[in-house]
Structure 1
Amino acid sequence: MKTELQKMLDGELYVAGDQQLVEMRDNARKLMSQYNQMIAEPLEPRVAVLKQLLGKCSTLDIQPPFYCDYGTHIQVGENFFMNFNCVILDCAMVTIGDNVMCGPYVQIYTAYHPIVAEERIKGPELAAPITIGDNVWLGGGAIICPGVTIGSNTTIGAGSVVTKDIPAGVFAAGNPCRVIRAI
């Protein structure tokens, strides 16, 4: 029998109130609270806390405040930058490539709920992984929805809502986000 964690990571309906998941979120919140209090601290001590929080990270700079659900389901490559007030709901894997930059208020959501009301009110949730390629820029206020892949060398315009995959090497923007032109 699968645990709720296994169901969550496998994209199946899961119960977010499961004790193991609650403990994992509580641990993440403790580390985020510590991290978000380090606003005036140099980068090195902040990165040490991020390395405890995130599943895999290398060279990175995330400006506090930063929020996530678990942290352990976030993998970031080399030279990652995320500006102030960003959120990653990592109920599924979030894989971010090298040289990715995020403007302020970027939101990356793997979590979602059933769209049929009768199913939604029962409580179980869903999650779908997000993949962001190398050399991507996510403009301020962009929202990346569950299950989306953004190809390498792509720029997402500020305020965009990315509901579907975006190919590599393009500028895309809007709500819903669509390809504007090749780069």
Structure 2
Amino acid sequence: MTVFNIDEEDNLNRMRRGDLYYAFTPGLVAARKRCRQAVTRLNAAEDPTRREMAEFWRQITNDDRPLPPRAATEDEEDNVLHEYPWIEAPIRIDYGTNIKVGSNVFINFNCTILDTCQVTIGSRTLIGPNVSFFSGTHPLDPELRNGTNGPELGGTITVGEDCWIAGNVTILPGITIGTGSTVGAGSVVTKDVPPYHVVAGNPAKIIRKLERNPNGKQQFSRSPKILHALQIVEPESRSNGIQA
């Protein structure tokens, strides 16, 4: 492996902008190690409390803001700590410092976030199991790619508020998923998703637009075509539900 002699701060800024940068400089190797150690502490915890979970997230994202004062009950703690995500371990994250998460976000197990560039997840968004956020990528030219000695690049990922990303979804660099949208299980998102749309498939394609009531709420459809595309199992005797 090449020993890189470049400006670490400039290299970091290039990474965050999505420009070509080098991932195996001492500074970035150390940054990933710091995050990996913090993630390991979360993954090793058995049944952490809501406050412990928030503290683990602070360590992962390198957030130096103190947690709010402790509440009297666990239910009250959940309200007090709403700006920190609810996480089902294990998860995997590269840097942690390039992640921005809104309030009341749920992240299910085996989530992978490669936060080469900023990954933003809006408030009240639900992330299913085995979801991957890949904000990093590599040059297509193999000579430029050059294994660990070559440069990498990336693109920001933005998931709006009130979204549902179902299980086994992969989101590629540079993607924006609009507010209120749903991505069906097993999808690979290669293009932006407009607000209030349902997409599914590999590559993900628009299944339908979610109509809005005058009061601003979404109308739920029981269309068999949509339910099938979203991998929904819906016996007639049961209320429908999308597999997370």
State the TM-score, normalizing by the size of structure 1: 0.95
The count of residues paired between Structure 1 and Structure 2 equals 183
- Once superposed, which parts of structure 1, at least 4 consecutive aligned residues long, lie more than 6 Å away? none
User: Which runs of no fewer than 5 residues in structure 2 stay unpaired?
Assistant: 1-6, 64-81, 211-244
Listed as ranges, the matches of 1:122-161 within 5 Å are 123-161=150-188
Structure-to-structure mapping, 1:1-183, within 5 angstroms: 3-54=10-61, 58-121=83-146, 123-183=150-210
Following the alignment from structure 1 to structure 2, what is the Cα–Cα distance between the partners of residues 154 and 146?
A: 18
Q: List runs of 5+ in structure 1 lacking aligned partners.
A: none
Residue 3 of structure 1 aligns to a residue whose secondary structure is helix
State the TM-score, normalized to the length of structure 2.
Answer: 0.72
CA contact (8 A) 2:57 2:84 kept: no
CA distance in 2, matches of 1:33, 1:52: 11
Task: Quote the Cα distance in structure 2 between the aligned partners of 1:50 and 1:149.
Answer: 24
Structure 2: distance between partners of 1:9 and 1:19: 17
Letter in 1 for 2:33: D
**Larger Rg, first or second structure (1 or 2):** 2
Structure having the larger proportion of residues in strand: 1
**Contact conserved, 1:55 with 1:75, CA < 8 A, in 2?**
no
* Higher mean C-alpha displacement, 115-124 vs 157-166: 115-124
Aligned partners of 2:28 and 2:191: how far apart in 1? 28
Taking only aligned residues, the RMSD between alpha carbons, in angstroms, comes to 1.5
